[in-house]
């Protein structure tokens, strides 16, 4: 419901109608977290450290590029990371599901497949993250687990919590669902170990910039073009991500003439979604590309992005893994 999510980021009368539901939701969230903290509900402790990467709002905050960055930093520090995910958008015949570069997005969801292809690390998908973690450790020689989008999955104990925030949209109207975009109140940030802002954020210690340098053809990944290749050209820009406008804005910044086509996050693309009745280039994110390769055409291109973050964050995470009392 695009109109509802849009209402979260501007003054809209619908929020007053939904406010009672938001208050009820917030009470349920608080009660659930308290139940896990006090041991009334079972929490599962793994034999290796668990790093949770998530956010307190719905929609895209750049978790996937951050997870890829984190995997790379941990490997450079001598760790052997593995990733667990719920696999939103995928429907496997059985769980836990080991995700490889050959696994389809229909089975595992788009983000786990992308992470498996880009990171080279073992990835396991399961709606039950604790079960996914146990399976991962039984199959792989991992010494640290990254739980992708697992901030609210309190059944799995965690050693480090990292919360990502979109610096453009931040927290919207600061209300919890459904009147606002928040899964948990803003005060939750006080209890996480690290808060990372995606984009420019004045006075914030940790900031992430997403960098792109080239386009890759879906039908032939060996064929690449510089980022400036479509400058001053008309294109169709397709985005089925949490914050499509960020992708469209990036293209406009590079003087590309954009015909935007926004889809819901995790949209299950079909060939018809990319048929615009002309031969203009179709540009998309890498996350969307993993779902479109089966019916791609030669004029379809995607843009891989890489997270750039200050080295001090990587060092702080590694220090806390080696010494849990640090920080």
11-20, 119-128, 188-197, 258-267: which has the minimum mean pLDDT? 11-20
Whether pLDDT at 321 is above 90: yes
283 close to 254: Cβ distance less than 8 angstroms: no
- Do 203 and 127 fall into the same domain? yes
Q: Tell me whether residue 8 is in a domain.
A: no
pLDDT in tens, 54-83: 999 998 889 999 999 999 999 999 999 999
326 close to 320: Cβ distance less than 8 angstroms: yes
The pLDDT of 166-173, averaged and rounded, is 91
Angle at the Cα of 6 from the Cα atoms of 183 and 245, rounded to 5 degrees:
100
Whether pLDDT at 114 is above 70: yes
Q: How far apart are CA 211 and CA 306, in angstroms?
A: 5
Q: Which of 173, 169, 171, 167 lies closest to 8, judged by CA? A: 173
- Do 119 and 78 fall into the same domain? yes
Q: How many domains does the chain have?
A: 2
Q: How far apart are CA 300 and CA 261, in angstroms?
A: 14
The pLDDT of 258-285, averaged and rounded, is 95
Q: Tell me whether residue 255 is in a domain.
A: yes
Whether pLDDT at 154 is above 90: yes
Banded pLDDT at 219 (limits 50, 70, 90): very high
Q: Tell me whether residue 44 is in a domain.
A: yes
Q: Which residues contact 139 (CB under 8 A, 6 or more apart)?
A: 98, 122, 124
Q: Tell me whether residue 1 is in a domain.
A: no
- Do 186 and 221 fall into the same domain? no
- Do 138 and 220 fall into the same domain? no
| Higher-pLDDT residue of 43, 243 | 43
Q: Tell me whether residue 245 is in a domain.
A: yes
Cα diameter, the chain: 60
Q: Tell me whether residue 327 is in a domain.
A: no
Write phi, then psi, for 222 (nearest 5 degrees): -75, -20
136 close to 111: Cβ distance less than 8 angstroms: no
- Do 199 and 229 fall into the same domain? no
State the residue range of the domain holding 237.
213-304
Banded pLDDT at 200 (limits 50, 70, 90): confident
Q: What is the pLDDT of residue 204?
A: 75
Pairing of strands 214-217, 220-226: antiparallel
Q: How far apart are CA 77 and CA 120, in angstroms?
A: 16
280 close to 234: Cβ distance less than 8 angstroms: yes
Q: Beta partners for 106? A: none
Whether pLDDT at 292 is above 90: yes
Q: Tell me whether residue 5 is in a domain.
A: no
- Do 171 and 284 fall into the same domain? no
Edge-to-edge strands, sheet with 306-309: 97-99, 123-125, 81-85, 144-148, 50-54, 160-166, 194-198, 206-211, 306-309
Banded pLDDT at 1 (limits 50, 70, 90): low
Whether pLDDT at 7 is above 80: no
- Do 22 and 52 fall into the same domain? yes
| Higher-pLDDT residue of 245, 145 | 145
Whether pLDDT at 97 is above 80: yes
- Do 153 and 171 fall into the same domain? yes
Banded pLDDT at 8 (limits 50, 70, 90): confident
Banded pLDDT at 265 (limits 50, 70, 90): confident
- Do 100 and 168 fall into the same domain? yes
- Do 175 and 39 fall into the same domain? yes
Instruction: Report residue 146 as tokens.
Output: 């990254």
- Angle subtended by helix axes 110-119 and 63-76, to nearest 10: 30
Q: What is the pLDDT of residue 327?
A: 64
| Higher-pLDDT residue of 40, 16 | 40
Pairing of strands 214-217, 300-303: antiparallel
Q: What is the pLDDT of residue 2?
A: 63
Whether pLDDT at 171 is above 70: yes
């Amino acid at each position: 419901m695009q109109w509802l999510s849009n209402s979260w980021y501007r003054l809209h009368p619908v929020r007053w109608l939904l406010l009672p539901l938001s208050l009820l939701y917030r009470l349920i969230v608080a009660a659930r977290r308290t139940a896990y903290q006090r041991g009334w509900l079972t929490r599962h402790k793994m034999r290796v450290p668990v790093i949770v990467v998530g956010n307190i709002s719905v929609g895209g905050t750049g978790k996937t590029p951050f997870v890829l960055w984190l995997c790379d930093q941990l490997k450079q520090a001598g760790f052997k990371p593995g990733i667990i995910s719920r696999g939103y958008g995928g429907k496997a015949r059985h769980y836990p599901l080991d995700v490889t570069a050959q696994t389809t997005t229909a089975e595992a969801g788009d983000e786990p497949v992308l992470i498996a292809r880009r990171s080279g690390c073992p990835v396991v998908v399961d709606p039950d993250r604790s079960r996914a973690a146990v399976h991962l450790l039984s199959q792989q020689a991992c010494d640290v687990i990254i739980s992708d989008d697992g901030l609210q999955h309190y059944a799995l104990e965690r050693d480090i919590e990292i919360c990502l925030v979109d610096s453009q949209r931040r927290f919207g109207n600061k209300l919890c669902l459904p009147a606002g975009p928040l899964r948990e109140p803003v005060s939750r940030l006080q209890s996480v170990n690290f808060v990372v802002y995606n984009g420019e954020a004045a006075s914030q210690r940790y900031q992430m910039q997403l960098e792109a340098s080239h386009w890759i053809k879906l039908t032939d990944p060996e064929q690449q073009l510089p980022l400036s290749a479509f400058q001053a050209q008309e294109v169709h820009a397709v985005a089925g991500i949490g914050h499509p406008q960020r992708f469209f804005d990036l293209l406009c910044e590079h003087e590309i003439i954009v015909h935007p086509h926004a889809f819901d996050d995790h949209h299950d693309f079909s060939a018809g979604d990319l048929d615009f009745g002309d031969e203009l280039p179709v540009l998309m994110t890498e996350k969307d590309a993993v779902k479109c390769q089966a019916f791609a055409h030669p004029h379809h291109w995607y843009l891989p992005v890489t997270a750039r973050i200050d080295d001090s964050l990587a060092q702080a995470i590694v220090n806390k893994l080696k010494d849990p009392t640090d920080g």
